Structure 1
Amino acid sequence: MSLGDDTGQTRTRMPERDGDPYGGSRRGGRSSSRSLVTVVGVVVILIAAIAFANRGGGDSAADDGGGGGGDAPKASSTAASGKKPVDGKAAGIPSGFAHDKQGAESAAANYSVVLVSADILKPARRTEIVRQVFVTDQRARLEDRFNQAYSKEFLSNLGLDENGNASAGSPYISRTIPVGTKVTSYSDTAAAVEIWCTGVFGTAGEKTTNPVTNDWFTMSLQLHWVDGDWKIDSFSQKDGPAPVPGDDKASTAEEMAKAVQEYGGFTYAR
C-alpha cells in the first residue's frame, strides 16, 4: 500500500522458512523483500502525503542540548534530569508537559510512542489519539487520512479485523522505544524535536507471514504550544541510524507474545 511520494516507502519482510519463523533462526540485516507493510512505513507515507507546512520556530537557535551548534551532545543532554515526570493524562496519553525545551522533548518522545503503536490501528482509539496529540486545525484532515490508510483491507493483511483486533493466539505487536531526543529549534510558541527510535513490529503467531522484527528510525516533530501544552503540527520520518545487526537467536512466537503481555511499555521519557 502506498499513498505516494518519495519521502518514504512501505517495508516488507518474507519469512525465511515454513512453520514458526522465529525458532532457530537468526536475525539478519535489513532486506528489500519484507512481506507486509509495518505501521512505521505507513505513517511515514501518510504524513508525507499530507505535506504539512512547518510553522514557527525556524529562526530560533538551539542550545547545547539541541545540537544546533555542531558540537556532539553532552551526556547530560539525554541523562535523567531529576525533575518529576508529568502526572496528567488525557485519553490515556501523558499531557501537561513543561513549557520549556525539556517539556518539548518529553512530549515528542511520548507522542512518537503512541503514533507508532498498535492502538493507532484501532478506529475508536485512533480518533482519541489524533484529537489529543495534534493541533486543532490538523485533526479532521488527519483523521480522514488515517482512516483511508488503515482500511479494512489493510488491517486484514496484518491479520487484524476491522476494529484493529488480532485473532486469538496471534497478537499483533507494534511498540516504539525512543533512544534519544534532540531539539533542533525552539521558541516560546514552537519547537522542532528529533526522536531516534527503535521498535518491534509484527504478528507473534506460529504461522504468520509477518513475524515480529525490529527497526530503527528517526521521527521529526514540529510542535506548537497550544492551550497550555505541546501539540504536534506536523511530523516526518526517515530510516536509521541503525546499528550492525547482532547475532541474537530469535525467540519463538510464544516467547514474543508472552514478553509483550508481561512487560508494559513506557509512557514517559525524560
Structure 2
Amino acid sequence: MSLGDDGYGDSGSRGGDSGRYGGTGQTRTRLPEQAGGGGVYGGARRGRPSSSRSLVTVVGVVVLLIAAIAFANRGGGDDSGDTASADDKPKSTATAPSGEQPVANKTGGIPTGYARDEQGAQSAATNYGIALGSADMYNTEQRHAIVNTVYAPDVAAAQLPQFDQAYSGESFLAKIGLDKDGAAPSGQTFVSRVIPVGTKVTSSSNSTATVALWYTSLFGLSGEGSTNPVTESWYTTTYQLKWVDGDWKITDFTQKDGPVPVGRDQRASTAEDMSKAVEEYGGFTYAR
C-alpha cells in the first residue's frame, strides 16, 4: 500500500491545497477505528466511550440510592410501619398491658381472683396496695375487711392487732385531724389515696411472687379550716405474695420513700376543688 492509497499522499501532493490529499481534489477523513488498536488515535479515542459508560453507571447507582432513601422515608407500606412501631416500644415492659381480661370478682369491693402468673401477681399487688392505702383503713370494720381480704388467713390473724394499734390510736388520729372513730370534721373531706405508677416483679415461682409497687399518695384533709391540707408523697412498697386457696395473698411487705420526681411550679387547687375532685373521681381496677 502506498502513502497515497491510505489517504495521506506524499509531502509534495499536500503542499498545493490545504485539506486535499493525493491530488485527487477530494477530502478524505481518517476515522479513529481505521487507525488500528495500537495507534495513538485508536487508544485515545477508545478511552472516551469507557469513561462515558463509567459515568452512566455511577449516575445510575446514585439515582437508585436516592430512590431507595425516598422509599424508606415514605414508610414502605404496612410492613415498614410495623417495624417503626416495634422500634418505638419502650425496652422495659414491666407495666405494659398484656391483653388479659380484668378480674371479674370482688370481695368487699376489692378485686380478687387473679391469674396464677406474674401478670396476676402484679395486678393483685397493685389493687391490694390501693385498698391498704385508702381512707377505709381508718375505720375499724372496713379495716378488718380489707386485711382479711388481701392477706393470707394466718398472716391476717397475726397482723390485725398491729393494724388496729397503728390506725386506732387517738393521738395518731388527732394528729392527722380525725376523731377517735376515724371520721373527718364536719365540712371537711379526708383524703387517703394511692395512685400506682408502675410495678416490677423481682422474683416469682408457681406459688410465690415478690412485686414492687411504685406509687404516689395523696393524704390530708380537704376543706375550709383544715390544718392538715392534702399533700403528695412518693413511695415504693414491695409485697411478698403467696398463692393461697386459688388467689394471690400478701404475706409480708416493706416500704421505702421514692423515687420522687421534681415538682413543677403549679398553683395548688382550692380546698373546694380538691374535695370535689375526690368525690367525683373514682379509682381503677388494675389488671395486666
TM-score using structure 2 length: 0.66
User: What is the 5 A alignment of 1:29-44?
Assistant: none
Letter in 2 for 1:122: N
Partners in 2 of 1:207 and 1:224 — Cα distance? Answer: 45
The corresponding residue for 1:102 is 119
The corresponding residue for 1:259 is 277
Partners in 1 of 2:100 and 2:112 — Cα distance? Answer: 15
CA shift, 1:75, in A, is 4.4
User: What is the 5 A alignment of 1:139-150?
Assistant: 139-150=156-167
2:108 to 79, 84, 91: 91
Letter in 1 for 2:151: F
Letter in 2 for 1:132: T
Tell me if 1:201 matches 2:222: no
| CA deviation map 1:17-64 (0-9, x unaligned) | xxxxxxxxxxxxxxxxxxxxxxxxxxxxxxxxxxxxxxxxxxxxxxxx
Secondary structure (helix, strand or coil) at the match of 2:216 reads strand
| CA deviation map 1:139-186 (0-9, x unaligned) | 122110111112133222222222222122111101101100000000
User: What is the 5 A alignment of 1:40-55?
Assistant: none
User: What is the 5 A alignment of 1:31-180?
Assistant: 74-150=91-167, 151-180=169-198
RMSD: 1.3
CA shift, 1:206, in A, is 2.2
Partners in 2 of 1:84 and 1:120 — Cα distance? Answer: 28
The corresponding residue for 1:190 is 208
Secondary structure (helix, strand or coil) at the match of 1:77 reads coil
Letter in 1 for 2:120: G
Letter in 1 for 2:183: N
CA shift, 1:81, in A, is 1.5
2:260 to 239, 242, 246: 242
Structure 2, unmatched stretches of 5+, are 1-89
Normalized per residue, the structure richer in helix is 2
Whose radius of gyration is greater, 1 or 2?
2
Structure 1, unmatched stretches of 5+, are 1-72
Greater RCO, 1 or 2 (C-alpha within 8 Å, sep 6+): 1
CA shift, 1:199, in A, is 1.8
Secondary structure (helix, strand or coil) at the match of 2:201 reads strand
Greater CA drift, 260-269 or 157-166: 157-166
Partners in 1 of 2:185 and 2:250 — Cα distance? Answer: 33
| CA deviation map 1:192-217 (0-9, x unaligned) | 00011012111002222211010111
Partners in 1 of 2:181 and 2:109 — Cα distance? Answer: 19
| CA deviation map 1:86-135 (0-9, x unaligned) | 01001111000000000000000111111111111110000001111111
Q: In 1, are the aligned partners of 2:100 and 2:287 still within 8 Å (CA)?
A: no
Q: In 1, are the aligned partners of 2:103 and 2:287 still within 8 Å (CA)?
A: no
Partners in 2 of 1:182 and 1:268 — Cα distance? Answer: 14
Partners in 2 of 1:84 and 1:269 — Cα distance? Answer: 7
Letter in 2 for 1:131: N
Letter in 1 for 2:251: D
Partners in 2 of 1:76 and 1:140 — Cα distance? Answer: 36
Letter in 2 for 1:193: V
Q: In 1, are the aligned partners of 2:94 and 2:198 still within 8 Å (CA)?
A: no
Partners in 2 of 1:116 and 1:138 — Cα distance? Answer: 18
Partners in 2 of 1:184 and 1:116 — Cα distance? Answer: 22
TM-score using structure 1 length: 0.71
The corresponding residue for 1:228 is 246
Q: In 1, are the aligned partners of 2:224 and 2:271 still within 8 Å (CA)?
A: yes
Secondary structure (helix, strand or coil) at the match of 2:144 reads helix
Taking only the aligned residue pairs, the percentage that are identical comes to: 55
Partners in 2 of 1:269 and 1:121 — Cα distance? Answer: 26
Q: In 1, are the aligned partners of 2:120 and 2:287 still within 8 Å (CA)?
A: no
Partners in 2 of 1:266 and 1:162 — Cα distance? Answer: 30
Letter in 2 for 1:106: S
